[in-house]
Amino acid sequence: MDVYEVFVKKDGRDEFRHVGALEAATDELALVLAREGYVRRAEGDRLWVVRRDHVIVADDGFVAPNADKPHRHHDGAAVAARRRAAREAPE
């Protein structure tokens, strides 16, 4: 038996979401069990199952460097101030 992670997508707009896991002997049975356990009342219209041992996991802290990159954002404050000043200036 293999462990599978289950993903369900709600409708045309939403992203796939992880909903849980299950044990199954084959890929096909994993889909059947996922349907009966996780999609019982039209919780979504698309279903993925992924074998857990196929999931590649980033080590703890792997994404941390990107949490502190203010130069990748721009708050547009200076430009907004200039526009506001122009709007409010007398004709």
Partner 1 sequence: MRRWAAAVARSWVAMEDFEAFLDGGGLVEADDDMPDPYRQAVFAFIEMHANSELMGGLTERDWIPKTPGLRHKMAVLAKTQDEIGHGHLLYMVAADLGVKTRTEMLEDLFGGRSRFHNVFHYRAVTWGDQVAIAFLVDAAALISQQAVFKDCSYGPYKRILRRIIAEEGFHMRLGEDRMMRIAEGTARQRRMFQESLDRWFWPALQLFGPDSKPDDPLLRWHIKSERNEVLRDRWVQKFVPMLQGYGFSVPAPDLRWDDETRRWDLGPIDWAPLQRTLAQGGPDSARRIGEAADNWQRTAWVRAALSKGGARSDSSTVADNSRVSANGGASASGGNGGG
Binding residues vs partner 1 (CB under 8 A): 1, 3, 5, 19-26, 28-29, 31-33, 35-38, 40-41, 52-53, 55-60
Q: Which is nearer to partner 1, 51 or 84 (CB)?
A: 51
Q: Which is nearer to partner 1, 58 or 85 (CB)?
A: 58
Residue 46 gets the label, from left (phi > 0), alpha (psi -120 to 50) or beta, of: beta
CB of 69 to partner 1, least distance (A): 22
Q: Map residue 51 onto helix, strand or coil.
A: strand
Terminal-residue alpha carbon distance, the chain: 76
